[in-house]
Amino acid sequence: MAEMTVELVAVERRLWSGQATAVFTRTTEGDIGILPRHIPLLGELVPDCVVRIDQTDGERLMAAVQGGFLSVTGERVSILAETAQLADEIDVEQARTDAASDDEAVRNRGVSQLRATEQSV
C-alpha cells in the first residue's frame, strides 16, 4: 500500500507527524482528499474544518482546525494550522456551548470540534 509523510502543525505545537495512506479536509475551494503521489498544491483551510488522517496501521486521526494552509509536495502533506486540537483532547460539552455562540470565531471552533469528535452539530 502506498504511503506518504504527513505533518499536522499548529502555531503552538506539532500535533502529529507520521506515515499515512490518505488525508481529507476542506479548503476554501471545497472538500479535498489527498492520496500518495497527489499532484503538488497549496490550499487555504476554512475556519471550521476537520482534518482526517488515515494512518498506515488503519487508525483514523481526527483534528479540529481553525484556519491555516495545506501544502502537498510529492510524497509529503503539511497542514499548517492557526489553531488545532486532536479529537481526544476536545471537551465536548464546551464545544457544544461554543457552537451555539454568537461570536463567529468561537462558533467556528465549537463546530469543528464537534465534527472532529463525530458529534452532531
Considering the entire predicted model, what is its pTM? Answer: 0.93
Confidence (pLDDT) at 68: 96
65/26 Cα distance (integer angstroms): 10
Mean pLDDT of 96-116: 95
Cβ atoms of residues 24 and 51 within 8 Å: yes
Q: Give the Å distances, CA to CA, from 45 to 2, 55, 57, 69, 97.
A: 25, 21, 26, 5, 23
pLDDT at 121 over 70: no
In this structure, the strands spanning 76-86 and 4-10 are parallel
Q: What percent of the chain has pLDDT over 90?
A: 93
Confidence (pLDDT) at 119: 78
pLDDT band at 118 (very low <50, low <70, confident <90, very high): confident
Average per-residue pLDDT for the chain: 94
pLDDT at 120 over 70: no
Mean pLDDT of 45-51: 94
Which CATH superfamily includes the segment(s) 4-86? F0F1 ATP synthase delta/epsilon subunit, N-terminal (2.60.15.10)
33/42 Cα distance (integer angstroms): 13
Cell representation of residue 101: 455562540
Confidence (pLDDT) at 85: 96
Query: In the chain, which segments carry CATH 2.60.15.10?
Result: 4-86
| Beta bridge mates, 30 | 27
At residue 80, the 3 state secondary structure works out as strand
